[in-house]
Amino acid sequence: MRTSLSERMIEYANKHTLPDNDKMRVLAKDFDEKTKAFFGEKISVKLYLGSWARARRHWCDITGDSLL
């Protein structure tokens, strides 16, 4: 399950030829996994939102997008 945030993160990583272990790719993958688990009712809201917050914060730090 891919989210719009993780899609943008992966597109950015591809455009900038970031390695597989780059934080952008790692956080995007983690958020996708947590999203799939959350909607499969296998993890808590806290874990899901924590993953989103880490991914969103990194995205905003790198791209300059507003956090809010």
- What residue segments make up the domains of the chain, in order of their start? 4-63
Strand intervals (E) in the chain: none
Q: How far is CA 66 from CA 15, 21, 57, 62, in A?
A: 21, 25, 9, 11
Helices (H) and strands (E) in the chain, counts: 3, 0
What residue type is 12 in one-letter code? Answer: Y
pTM for the model = 0.90
Mean pLDDT of 58-65: 96
The crossing angle, in degrees rounded to 10, of helices 45-63 and 4-15 is: 40
At 9-59, the pLDDT tens digits run: 999 999 999 999 999 999 999 999 999 999 999 999 999 999 999 999 999
> ∠5-37-61 over CA atoms, to 5°?
25
